[in-house]
């Protein structure tokens, strides 16, 4: 007589707050639309090499032409910025910032800690904190290009128009790199279940 093997229960996904999921979904969608519309704007006058510079293929762009790309880009700039503001208020009110952002011990932990879980947690908080000035730079440089006349005092901080465009363009791969590292650290900390729980 063979012993019956008990059926394995499916592991439950970690619980995530509805608002945290909503912020992540809006963030991903608005980032994707801003990225593709931004590439459409870039193609009209490449940041590097002038009009004869390297262009992105049409399937990576959104808007069809310069004005269309600008309309999409500036519309979702507001969605993205207001979403970040809402998320900032949310983590402040719920005091999640105490667990999300780096403290004095995190830098020491990544250098000397023998506890892999603690070290991974410290890396996560350091990366999460380091992206804040990059996001602010992306928004400030974007606003400076959106309203260069009205915000001349802001755009003037970048020296000239080309510097402004280069700074704004460089923030894009940094944000994409952050998204990748953020996801990899989440995978390392809690496997695919943790990442999945943020979107389902």
Q: Tokens 């909503």 belong to which residue?
A: 22
Global pTM reads 0.77
Q: Tokens 């974007």 belong to which residue?
A: 142
Residue 96 CA to residue 160 CA, distance in Å, equals 39
Q: What are the tens digits of pLDDT across the range 86-95?
A: 988 888 888 7
The CA–CA distances, whole Å, from 134 to 13, 24, 138, 168, 192 equal 31, 18, 6, 10, 27
**Span of 37-41, 140-144, 184-188 with lowest mean pLDDT:** 184-188
Residue 35 CA to residue 115 CA, distance in Å, equals 38
Which of 38 and 115 is assigned the larger pLDDT?
A: 38
**Span of 57-66, 68-77, 110-119 with lowest mean pLDDT:** 110-119
Q: Tokens 């870039």 belong to which residue?
A: 42
pLDDT at 35: 93
């Amino acid at each position: 007589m063979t012993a019956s093997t008990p059926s394995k229960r499916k592991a439950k996904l970690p619980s995530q707050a509805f608002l945290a999921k909503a912020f992540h979904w809006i963030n991903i969608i608005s980032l994707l639309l801003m990225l593709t519309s931004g590439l459409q704007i870039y193609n009209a006058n490449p940041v590097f090499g002038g009009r004869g510079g390297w262009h992105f293929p049409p399937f990576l762009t959104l808007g069809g032409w310069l004005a269309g790309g600008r309309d999409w880009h500036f519309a979702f700039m507001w969605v993205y910025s207001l979403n970040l503001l809402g998320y900032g208020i949310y983590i402040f009110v719920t005091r999640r910032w105490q667990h999300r952002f780096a403290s004095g011990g995190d830098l020491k932990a990544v250098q000397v800690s023998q506890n892999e879980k603690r070290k991974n947690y410290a890396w996560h908080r350091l990366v999460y904190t380091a992206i804040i000035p990059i996001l602010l730079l992306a928004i400030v440089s974007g606003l400076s290009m959106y309203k260069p006349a009205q915000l001349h005092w802001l755009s003037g901080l970048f020296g000239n128009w080309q510097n402004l465009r280069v700074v704004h363009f460089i923030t894009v791969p940094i944000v994409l790199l952050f998204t990748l590292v953020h996801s990899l650290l989440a995978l390392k900390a809690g496997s695919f279940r943790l990442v999945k729980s943020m979107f389902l």
